[in-house]
Structure 1
């Protein structure tokens, strides 16, 4: 049991149950049309992400969930001053070291260039494709988390708040291949089964003086660590995904990890259901509500290519060295380029005479243009 004096089993929160949302995606994907294709794409991406998170959670719990020195939180979503952080896993120890862990699942492998660009292997196209940097995503998570901790009842020593230390690690499936560039420090990208060894190594590298200073100046009780973790869990704001009716409109909002989060009009998932026997957590602080950006165009709306020379939309998408638009009015050629969230790599997908603008990083897909047949 958590919170009993002398008992420091500190798995504070498990992953939220997403079975209802996955079932809804399966039903939508079984339909027809662009909305079904979008649901199928989102379902595929979400299942892969859940698989990676579950693998990492198992290894984290195996080593840390019953340790007297650690508090463990899975799936923590924080909203603060208009920013959102979706944290896969959080570890807090008695020295107030806070490890922010981002899980990534890759079917084939990952490549990190010397400039720090992350590429994933696309087995269908037999090439590497770009993706958002998980290191940068995690830095945004930490920025939000740092601000949130300033609002909590925090451990003090001699009347001063004990400063936490934040650590960023990216967890990759143990079976995945990682190609690393020698001139870029990718030491924070590790296999999930190497996590405990990585944390133990960070303690071993501290010299004796700094280690003694850390123990005497920062160490707190296991009960204090659990209390801090429960305050964070009380601020958990689950993503609203369950719709009240089939026609409920979807909107989007940006999160600190750079993804576009779909939100639906619905009843909130009770926060308490995700907490494992919390002993009287403090009341949650109100999170400011900031409206997200306008919704993406519907999948059936053709808002795509425009001729750069004459501004007309009538024409045909052709392929040379890459896809381009040939205008019927002036016969000019226009290169096709997309923009999305920072670090995202949207692409054009052809399906018969239809062309779709898709981004795997945020799970978006919409009809971009349709050639005349």
Structure 2
């Protein structure tokens, strides 16, 4: 059954549109396979928040014996995966490195397990004659990466977690059988001593309802850039002030040692120097911080200068947020927040 249907977020970015098409394709395959099965709950575009942390799951398959996270990737050319699980992608005839979507999906699985575990008392019953609270520590959450049907996968070694989109359903069914086997009391799988629980039907229903209610929508990056900071939220620029509050879409973050702001009030819109996409994240490399494009995997220099002294600004990282700091003028301002 479809517990949360697919809905593509509006965007003017052609690379994001391609990503939406890949997710729509995968959603179609999952609906055709499990749409009428009440024992299998399908979710699309799930996003959870935990304080300033968040996780976006493209597709989630939930049943009584486990869950499968499916990460969709739009690939119109080729991806290559070596024996060390390092990913490269072909773009305009060139091969460039890219973050591993398998590791990305595994981080989402860890986030999901943490969220479920925090609500175990309301979602699960008790075991051992009602004396011990059940938990999600042994609940199996597997991951699969879905590559667009038109893409080509080149790899060396085993490739259990990556499939073409039209092959994902078969892999999901395999994983569901394995998860049910681990949960069986007669299982001979050595992993079953650490993994495998079976939710009761009412526990599955409560867990499914919790996931729907815990979902939080997020504005697109363009909408966030165009949303002005409310005037009543701006910190007053007093030199005696020890800190100023910098507001973002996720709430206030206190930045120490801040004097009167010397920057323009509007956050600049950064784009990829290769494809002009705004889907970027800040990463650290051999020569310092730079922008990595999530659309074409291209690299773009971060070259920020102080509007007062024209000096080069230093980047300071705080979790997913990045601040531009001028040591000469003793100023600091949030200039970018990495996507979850």
Name stretches of at least 5 consecutive residues in structure 1 with no aligned partner: 1-9, 26-42, 251-262, 266-287, 302-338, 348-356
What is aligned with 2:40?
70
What is aligned with 1:131?
98
1:169 matched to 2:148: no
1:230 aligned residue (209, 218, 224):
209
CA distance in structure 2 between the aligned counterparts of 1:85 and 1:292, rounded to whole angstroms: 23
1:66–1:341 Cα change, 3 Å: farther
**Worse-superposed segment, 292-301 or 240-249:** 292-301
1:5-58: per-residue Cα shift (whole Å, max 9, x none)? xxxxx3111134523xx2xx3xxxxxxxxxxxxxxxxx0221111011001111
- C-alpha displacement at 1:161, in angstroms? 1.2
1:181 matched to 2:148: no
- C-alpha displacement at 1:362, in angstroms? 7.0
SS at match of 1:98: strand
What is aligned with 1:105?
74
How do 1:33-44 residues align onto structure 2 when only pairs under 5 Å count? 43-44=13-14
- C-alpha displacement at 1:202, in angstroms? 3.5
1:285-340: per-residue Cα shift (whole Å, max 9, x none)? xxx95749999962589xxxxxxxxxxxxxxxxxxxxxxxxxxxxxxxxxxxxx93
Residues 70 and 225 in structure 1, CA contact (< 8 A), matched pair in contact too? no
Q: Which has the higher contact order (CA 8 A, sep 6+)?
A: 1
Q: Give the superposed CA RMSD.
A: 4.2
Residues 76 and 148 in structure 2, CA contact (< 8 A), matched pair in contact too? no
Residues 225 and 267 in structure 2, CA contact (< 8 A), matched pair in contact too? no
- C-alpha displacement at 1:170, in angstroms? 0.7
1:146 matched to 2:125: no
SS at match of 1:101: strand
TM-score by length of 2: 0.62
What is aligned with 1:359?
292
1:205–1:229 Cα change, 3 Å: closer
Residues 300 and 366 in structure 1, CA contact (< 8 A), matched pair in contact too? no
How do 1:243-254 residues align onto structure 2 when only pairs under 5 Å count? 248-249=227-228
Residues 15 and 295 in structure 2, CA contact (< 8 A), matched pair in contact too? no
Residues 76 and 87 in structure 1, CA contact (< 8 A), matched pair in contact too? yes
Name stretches of at least 5 consecutive residues in structure 2 with no aligned partner: 230-246, 256-262, 272-280, 305-340
CA distance in structure 2 between the aligned counterparts of 1:161 and 1:154, rounded to whole angstroms: 9
- C-alpha displacement at 1:106, in angstroms? 0.6
CA distance in structure 1 between the aligned counterparts of 2:254 and 2:7, rounded to whole angstroms: 23
CA distance in structure 1 between the aligned counterparts of 2:302 and 2:180, rounded to whole angstroms: 58
Residues 3 and 41 in structure 2, CA contact (< 8 A), matched pair in contact too? yes
- C-alpha displacement at 1:117, in angstroms? 1.2
